[in-house]
Amino acid sequence: MQIGRKLIHLESVDSTNNYTANVVKSQGLSSGTVILADEQFAGRGQRGAEWVVEPGMNLTFSVYLEVVNLSVENQFDLSKVVVLSICHFLKKVGIDAQVKWPNDILVQGNKISGVLIENTISSSGPIKSIVGVGINVNQTRFGEFNATSIQSELGTFYPIRDALFSFIESFNLISDELLDRPSVLHDRYLDKLFQYKTKNTYEDASGVFEGEICGIEQSGKLIVQKDNQEVSYDLKEIKFL
């Protein structure tokens, strides 16, 4: 699966994910198209949060994908490919990153990138995915957030378009190598997983507890060892403290 043959570059938009959804609906878009914006004035994050970054300083883009072999059951595989591609790109730059479940990218506990994947599932045809990616590139001040950027890590300016093309190259490599090898993909995801197999503090509906992340279900749910039992969690059901 190749992305980036077609690139739409916008100066300013509410959200590249919204823009992509509207274009897909109104005129259609070829799978693999990348939509990049210099500025988003209503960028969206996971769990209904906003994604607010300094205009012109970071990478904010979406990729439109129709993945033929992706099904409802294995749709989290695309998420794994995306986060591993971001880690692969960062490694080329000289930055070691980890994945905080499900798809935040951290450098020593500070967030450098976030992913918002929005899938449309229909009874006929492939799943339509809008993969929204934000990567902090040259912003160095993040207020009260535990965040970082390529420039903060390397101490030098990094050209944003170079970052995009390098990410595209990583994505094309990783998806070709791993999308049809689910067990290898799964192992690589676990290799990068933040707090995997270590004791940490979490909170679920019954309160704060000490637990240990021990796996990921095929559906993408997080499996945590809690009081000698394995409990599976969806995105909104567990907090990392």
Residues that bind ligand BTN (CB under 6 A): 15-17, 40, 43-46, 49, 51, 60-62, 104, 114-116, 132-134
For the CB of residue 113, give the shortest distance to ligand BTN in the complex, in Å. Answer: 8
By DSSP bridging, strand 34-40 and strand 7-13 are: parallel
Tokens 């929204």 -> residue: 132
Question: What one-letter code names the amino acid at 44?
Answer: R
The CB-side HSE value for 225 (13 A sphere, CA atoms) comes to 11
For the CB of residue 37, give the shortest distance to ligand BTN in the complex, in Å. Answer: 7
Give CA angle at 92 (183, 63), nearest 5°: 65
For the CB of residue 139, give the shortest distance to ligand BTN in the complex, in Å. Answer: 13
For the CB of residue 15, give the shortest distance to ligand BTN in the complex, in Å. Answer: 3
**Structure tokens of 207?**
């309160």
Nearest partner of 139 among 110, 112, 175, judged by Cα: 112
Nearer to ligand BTN, 131 or 224 (CB): 131
Nearer to ligand BTN, 106 or 174 (CB): 106
Nearer to ligand BTN, 18 or 74 (CB): 18
For the CB of residue 134, give the shortest distance to ligand BTN in the complex, in Å. Answer: 3
By DSSP bridging, strand 104-107 and strand 7-13 are: unpaired
How many of the other CB atoms lie within 10 Å of CB of 41? Answer: 11
Nearest partner of 134 among 190, 193, 62, judged by Cα: 62
By DSSP bridging, strand 199-204 and strand 207-216 are: antiparallel
Nearer to ligand BTN, 99 or 174 (CB): 99
- Which residues, other chains included, contact 187 with Cβ-Cβ below 8 Å and sequence gap of 6+? none
- CA 21 to CA 64: how far, in whole Å? 9
Nearer to ligand BTN, 151 or 225 (CB): 151
For the CB of residue 187, give the shortest distance to ligand BTN in the complex, in Å. Answer: 24
Nearer to ligand BTN, 134 or 211 (CB): 134
> Which residue of this chain has its Cβ atom nearest to ligand BTN in the complex?
114
Nearer to ligand BTN, 15 or 74 (CB): 15
Max Cα-Cα span within the chain: 53
